[in-house]
Amino acid sequence: MPSQADVLTAERLRRARERAGYASAHAAADAFGWPDYPLDESGQRVLTAMRAKLYAHAFHVDPDWLMSGGTEPATGPDGAASGASALSQSTDELAERISRLTDAQRATLVEFLRAMQER
């Protein structure tokens, strides 16, 4: 049975995921390729610092907040943490979109980028 601290951590993880725009734990798991993510969000598995950093980066929140709470970070409906640079947000969005591509789509993207560099 999860401890009270684990339950609170799981609740913060759920809030971060929802604010980042993912309707369910399974939707986030599928989007990022994290098959065990629902176990963390449900409190069935203790969230490690390493996984907290991974999730925090993906959901644009502070990993310390995920792990220990405190003042909830301000985020907008798009999941972007306030104060984050536009470049960082663009890079995160690009990485997320690329992660959703099929292998064939990624190969096409690489060919396109190579062609663009040759111009």
Full pLDDT tens readout for the chain, 119 residues = 778 888 899 999 999 999 999 999 999 999 999 999 999 999 999 899 899 999 999 999 999 999 988 766 555 444 444 444 444 566 677 777 888 888 888 888 888 888 877 76
- Shared domain for 91 and 63, answered yes or no, is no
Q: How many CB atoms neighbour CB 4 within 10 A?
A: 8
DSSP element (H, E) containing 71 = none
- Shared domain for 31 and 57, answered yes or no, is yes
How many structural domains comprise the chain?
Answer: 2
- Shared domain for 8 and 21, answered yes or no, is yes
Helix, strand, coil share (%) of the chain residues, nearest 5? 65, 0, 35
At 81, give phi and psi (nearest 5°).
-70, 140
